[in-house]
């Protein structure tokens, strides 16, 4: 049987760590397939999808900026993906149909529970950023029974519409500007923040605001848990501030690996070698 193809689409995509740990997993499990990062510009998405030969394509991961637009060209979207309105994993079925999943929801929570040892239930949570991944994060937090959710974003209207799209499960949720004073005012009357999640791309190496933290240390309680979904650099600016006040931290690498492990299972039907993937991801990012 000819070698199969699998990969990830995004724009830009050259800094993705996914090929390193997915190829390590394919090799470890003896799958005759190669994982490639495919750079697909926003206006080329549907053309790229229709130009693919599906007979040797297992599927592909989907990252910025395609997670919402990809839904238009899929044959089926699973419940998690449809709830959050974003797909990050596409599987080519035996009948060559395209099925979409959201494994960010699983990756986010599993990494927080297993690597961070943190339980979100009953926590007052501050989420920073209202882009694609924030949809998955807010959807999971509201479903898992947090005490309250405050969603801060540079473009407040985006935070408003994100919250309007989600089922709140009775949890009080408020949008606010990504500004220290506005966040402090919004948090008055809530319990102390137990979890802060950075879903902005601020602080990301080669990103739009490299070296910057979305909030100052004054907003980070010493007993809070700060979870930055950015994974490069390994200690991000907000993590440095958090460590400075004594807070616990976790970066986005375990989430990246766990969401990718779910993708691996969906594409190959095999158990993902998570330890092999984690080691390869760490080597790719940390050298």
Ligand X SMILES: NC(=O)c1ccc[n+]([C@@H]2O[C@H](COP(=O)([O-])OP(=O)(O)OC[C@H]3O[C@@H](n4cnc5c(N)ncnc54)[C@H](OP(=O)(O)O)[C@@H]3O)[C@@H](O)[C@H]2O)c1
Residues lying near ligand X in the complex (CB under 6 A) are found at 64, 104, 107, 129-134, 153-155, 158, 178, 199-202, 204, 208-209, 229-231, 252, 255-256, 259
Q: Enumerate the β-bridge partners of residue 33.
A: 4
- Minimum CB distance to ligand X, residue 38 (Å): 17
Alpha carbon of 68 to those of 42, 135, 208, 273: distances in Å? 11, 10, 21, 29
Query: Would you say 13 or 146 has its CB closer to ligand X?
Result: 13
d(C-alpha 55, C-alpha 267), whole Å: 13
Whether the Cβ atoms of residue 145 and residue 126 lie closer than 8 Å to each other: no
> In this structure, what are the phi and psi dihedrals at residue 228, rounded to the nearest 5 degrees?
-100, 120
Cis preceding linkage at 82, omega within 30: no
| Residue with the CB atom nearest ligand X in the bound state | 131
- Minimum CB distance to ligand X, residue 274 (Å): 14
Alpha-helix residue ranges (DSSP H) falling in the chain: 18-28, 45-51, 79-84, 104-114, 132-143, 156-165, 180-187, 237-245, 253-268, 274-286
Q: Enumerate the β-bridge partners of residue 9.
A: 38, 62
Q: Which of 67, 72, 262, 283 is catalytic?
A: 67
Query: Would you say 92 or 202 has its CB closer to ligand X?
Result: 202
- Minimum CB distance to ligand X, residue 138 (Å): 11
Alpha-helix residue ranges (DSSP H) falling in 65-131: 79-84, 104-114
Query: Would you say 169 or 206 has its CB closer to ligand X?
Result: 206
- Minimum CB distance to ligand X, residue 260 (Å): 8
Query: Would you say 59 or 131 has its CB closer to ligand X?
Result: 131
- Minimum CB distance to ligand X, residue 119 (Å): 20
H-run or E-run covering 283: helix 274-286
Task: Tell me the angle at which helices 253-268 and 104-114 cross, rounded to the nearest 10 degrees.
Answer: 130
Residue identified by tokens 């130009």 is: 51
Q: Is 47 a catalytic residue?
A: no
Query: Strand 148-153 to strand 173-177: parallel, antiparallel, or no bridges (unpaired)?
Result: parallel
Query: Would you say 74 or 209 has its CB closer to ligand X?
Result: 209
Active-site residue list: 67
């Amino acid at each position: 049987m000819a070698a199969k193809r699998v990969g990830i689409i995004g724009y830009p995509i050259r800094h993705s760590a996914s090929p390193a740990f997915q190829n390590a997993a394919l090799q470890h499990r003896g799958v005759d397939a190669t994982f490639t990062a495919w750079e697909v510009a926003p206006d080329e998405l549907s053309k790229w999808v229709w130009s693919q030969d599906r007979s040797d394509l297992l599927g592909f991961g989907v990252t910025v900026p395609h997670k919402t637009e990809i839904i238009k060209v899929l044959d089926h979207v699973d419940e998690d993906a449809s709830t959050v309105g974003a797909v990050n994993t596409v599987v080519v079925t035996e009948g060559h149909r395209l099925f979409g999943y959201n494994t960010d929801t699983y990756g986010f929570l599993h990494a927080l529970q297993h690597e961070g040892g943190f339980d979100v239930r009953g926590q007052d949570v501050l989420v920073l950023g209202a882009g694609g991944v924030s949809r998955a994060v807010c959807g999971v937090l509201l479903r898992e029974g947090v005490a309250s959710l405050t969603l801060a974003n540079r473009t407040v209207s985006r935070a408003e519409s994100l919250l309007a799209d989600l089922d709140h499960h009775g949890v009080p949720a408020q949008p606010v500007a990504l500004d220290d004073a506005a966040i402090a005012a919004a948090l008055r009357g809530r319990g102390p923040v137990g979890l802060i999640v950075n879903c902005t791309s601020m602080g990301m190496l080669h990103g739009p605001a490299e070296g910057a933290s979305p909030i100052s240390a004054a907003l980070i309680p010493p007993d809070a848990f700060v979870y930055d979904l950015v994974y490069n650099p390994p200690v991000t600016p907000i993590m440095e501030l958090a460590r400075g006040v004594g807070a616990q931290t976790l970066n986005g690498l375990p989430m990246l690996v766990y969401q990718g492990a779910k993708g691996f299972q969906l594409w190959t039907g095999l158990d993902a070698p998570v330890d092999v993937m984690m080691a390869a991801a760490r080597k790719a990012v940390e050298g």
